[in-house]
Amino acid sequence: MVEEIEAVLNTNPNLTQGLKMNLLELVTIFQKQFPTVSLENLKNRLQTLKIDKLNRYVSSEVSKYDPVLNTLMINEERLGKDVDAKHILMYELLSIMTAKDNYTGFNFNHQFEALNIGYTEILTNYLVGNETEEFVHSDEIIATNLISISIGNDILLHAFFNNDYMTLTKSLIDAGIEL
């Protein structure tokens, strides 16, 4: 599948050669750790992925992925300041990988936004670490770890990569966690 991703990346005129190489490296890292997770959605989205500038007046984030427009927006001013670019790109790659309609992961209708952010951060840290001293989403990571203890990481993993917010909702209810 990595070869198919490479072929798709090479056909996308919106991406620089350097970005294509970086994305391919991260996909390889991901697939080694999660060989059973389908990369079909990622392959489809990478065909038309666009890169745009993220205006610092619009968002204070370093980057943001819009699944509706299939656009990765990057705040170039923030990217060079005490952030780990590999970490940021892996975080956004996971968002692209789990994008469906107008949401990513299990964040349907923004019901699980903090949990989705926390889980994406946990996976990103697991896959590539973070060279910066501070975690941008530390509260979300802590809450996600607590929920993972309550319902199990296997449920979070399944729900995240399959956009299965219903299984997540049922598991939280079954664990006695109020929504």
Query: Would residue 155 count as lying in a domain?
Result: yes
Query: Would residue 118 count as lying in a domain?
Result: yes
Query: Would residue 131 count as lying in a domain?
Result: yes
Q: Please compute the mean of the pLDDT values over residues 38-56 and round it to a whole number.
A: 93
pLDDT at position 161 over 80? yes
Q: Give the pLDDT of residue 127.
A: 96
pLDDT at position 17 over 60? yes
d(CA 78, CA 70): 21
Q: Give the pLDDT of residue 60.
A: 76
How many structural domains comprise the chain? 1
Query: Would residue 63 count as lying in a domain?
Result: yes
What tokens were used for 76? 């170039």
Query: Would residue 99 count as lying in a domain?
Result: yes
Confidence grade of residue 47 (pLDDT, cut at 50, 70, 90)? very high
More confident: 137 or 161: 161
Query: Would residue 31 count as lying in a domain?
Result: yes
State which residues form the domain around 67. Answer: 2-174
Q: pLDDT tens, 51-106? A: 999 887 777 788 899 999 999 998 887 776 677 889 999 999 999 999 998 999 99
3-class DSSP string for the chain: CHHHHHHHHHHCCCCCHHHHHHHHHHHHHHHHHCCCCCCHHHHHHHCCCEEEECCCCCCCCCEEEECCCCEEEECHHHHCCCCCHHHHHHHHHHHHHCEECCEECCCHHHCCHHHHHHHHHHHHHHHHCCCCCCCCCHHHHHHHHHHHHHHCHHHHHHHHHCCCHHHHHHHHHHCCCCC
Query: Would residue 179 count as lying in a domain?
Result: no
Q: Give the pLDDT of residue 81.
A: 66
The fraction of the chain above a pLDDT of 90, given in percent, is 69
What tokens were used for 10? 């090479």
